[in-house]
Amino acid sequence: MFLLKPRWSDLDAYNHVNNVTWLEYLQEARVDMLFVHAPDRGAEGLAEGVLVVRAEIDYKRAMVFRQAPYPIEMWVAKVGGASFTVAYEIADDDGVGNRLVYGRASTVLAPVDMASGRPRRLTPVESEVLQRFVE
Nearer to its own copies, 27 or 131 (CB): 27
Q: Residue 134 is which amino acid?
A: V
Nearer to its own copies, 18 or 128 (CB): 18
Contact window for its own copies (CB under 8 A) among 1-9, 70-78, 86-94, 124-132: 1-9
| Of 37, 47, 59, 121, the one binding its own copies by CB under 8 A | 59
Rule CB under 8 A: say whether 61 interacts with its own copies: no
Binding mask 4-43 vs its own copies (x if CB under 8 A, - otherwise)? -x-xxx-xxxxx--xxxx-xx--xx--x---xx-------
